[in-house]
Amino acid sequence: MLKFKFIIFFAFCGIAVFAQSQSKLSDINKSVNGFNNTMTSNSDSALYYLHKIIITQPEEGSRLIHDQISQSFGSAFIDMLKTDTAAQAYFKSNNITIDSVEREIKQRRLNTYKLLSKLETDTNAIIKSHIYPLAMWVKAEENKNDPVKLLNTGNSYLKYLSGQNDFYAHREARYGMQLINLMSKYSQMDSVTDQLLMVIYDHLRSYLSDTPNADNGPQRNKRSWYTGMFAAANYIAAHRNPNSTKQLVYLKIAADYSPDDIPSYIKNKYELDLAMIFSMNNKSFEEDYVSALNKDDEKLKYMVKKSLLNPSFKIKAKALYNDPANFNSYWQSEFNKKFEPAPIFSLSQIDGKQYKLADIAGQWTFINFWGTRAPSCTDELPALERLYLSTKTRKKALLNIITVACKDDKTSVINFMKQFNYTFPVLMSDGQIEVDYNVFYWPTKFLISPEGTYVAIPNEVDWVKYKEEYIKEI
């Protein structure tokens, strides 16, 4: 999260450096750079660039509005500067004072207000639809100390949401929850605040229930965003129901949908939204839920469950175990209870030898399904080769590595391995092993325990680290 904070902060202060000259950039990139360079200094120019972007790349225009313009408003970033020790250390080392940074941010915010005012009256239908929920939240920020005006904004936003059927397109759920946070300070607004939360909550829940997981980028990104927003909505609902049975239920759901429990490629689809909703605080929904549990065994049971799906939680689980010296045996036993036995197979290696999975029982085994014609597979093979070589230098092998070449012929694979001097073992797929392991895309990776149960390693994660966290004894 720290790196993420700095990215946001640098964007404010104009520290970002463009590596390519304008002449080498595409027209859309020129327009994006033009918008970024004028957003807080020349509203007319910024509006001109945004119009060009919206016409040709509406998704990029949406990103600029909700990821760039929106960050100029609210107090989260100034508050972060005053509490983040790493940020303060950076400023000190560069002879930058917090006061000067705060003045710069406030000035840029005033300049961005000019742009927002023009966008609110713009005749472009796409821009108008994107700007309305953002403008409503900005208005609420302006009137956060005026209960009457804030309540009017809340009622208007509630009416607006009742006519929407997609809370992702214009980030309606994010702005709604930011508005809820402002209204929650006033008990006289509880009725409207709760109605607003429930409209958002019910819509997010309905979408996740009715929409299956998707492999394609846009749909996966949208579902990922809904997942993060649902976690946030449950967290807010929990804190609006303190000291009640509902609170624990909401906290558990928030933890189950938490960004800490899923791969980073999903998390980053809504990391900014969570940062804005929770004023830059790095929320750990799991920790809040575990803290709310009364019994130690309940805390342990939950954290172990999390760690089996994301091994980075093993350390937290161990801290709750009453016999730390024997934790690894306990955890591995739970692993084998959780996951199914790996399908047994016997395949020929490219060197002609027969490879049987049953022959390497008693050892963690890493399987990688790949193909010579897929860049996504071949790009990571140098890392796989380094991992394989590292297992050869240990006196006692902690990990057995095998790979399965799919949709390839043996000669092509042999020539490929020679060309790049790879030495890791390769089995030739028989076409059935992909079916047995439910492999639908390449690369796909699995980890098999010494007892023969297996877990899929999520795609696009740091699989080397992920694998290590599973097999490492702590």
Please, which residues have CB within 8 angstroms of residue 279's CB and are 6 or more apart in sequence?
74, 75, 76, 79, 80
pTM listed for this prediction: 0.79
Q: How confident is the model at residue 73 (pLDDT cuts 50, 70, 90)?
A: confident
386, 392 Cβ separation under 8 angstroms: no
Dihedral angle over CA of 90, 96, 100, 106, nearest 10: -30
Instruction: Give the model confidence (pLDDT) of 325-349 as tens digits.
Output: 999 999 999 999 999 999 999 999 9
Residue 26: predicted pLDDT: 76
Is pLDDT above 80 for 125? yes
pLDDT, mean of residues 222-250: 93
For each of the domains in the chain, give its residue range(s) and CATH number, in order of start: 1-142 (no CATH), 145-292 (no CATH), 293-338 (no CATH), 346-471 (3.40.30.10)
Other beta carbons within 10 angstroms of residue 111's beta carbon come to: 17
Instruction: Give the model confidence (pLDDT) of 356-389 as tens digits.
Output: 998 888 899 999 999 999 999 999 999 999 999 9
Is pLDDT above 90 for 11? no
Report in angstroms the alpha-carbon separations of 163 from 48, 132, 169: 30, 13, 14
Instruction: Give the model confidence (pLDDT) of 259-268 as tens digits.
Output: 654 555 556 6
Please, which residues have CB within 8 angstroms of residue 411's CB and are 6 or more apart in sequence?
none
Residue 2: predicted pLDDT: 38
Is pLDDT above 50 for 10? no
Residue 28: predicted pLDDT: 86
Instruction: Give the model confidence (pLDDT) of 272-308 as tens digits.
Output: 898 889 876 656 788 889 989 989 999 999 999 989 9
Report in angstroms the alpha-carbon separations of 367 from 122, 445, 449, 454, 455: 55, 6, 11, 10, 10
Is pLDDT above 60 for 435? yes
Mean model confidence pLDDT for the chain:
88
Strand, helix or coil for residue 351:
coil
pLDDT, mean of residues 404-424: 97
Provide the CB-side half-sphere exposure for 177 (13 A, CA): 26
Question: Exposure pattern of 313-338 as b/e (b: 16+ CB <10 Å)?
Answer: bbebbbebbeeeeebeebbbebbeee
Q: Which of 292, 340, 285 is nearest to 313 (CA)?
A: 285
Report in angstroms the alpha-carbon separations of 220 from 172, 224, 391: 18, 6, 36
pLDDT, mean of residues 232-247: 93
Residue 98: predicted pLDDT: 78
Is pLDDT above 80 for 473? yes
Please, which residues have CB within 8 angstroms of residue 385's CB and are 6 or more apart in sequence?
422, 423, 424
Strand, helix or coil for residue 175:
helix
Q: In this structure, are strands 444-448 and 364-370 parallel, antiparallel, or unpaired?
A: antiparallel
Strand, helix or coil for residue 454:
strand
Instruction: Give the model confidence (pLDDT) of 18-40 as tens digits.
Output: 334 444 457 888 999 999 999 98
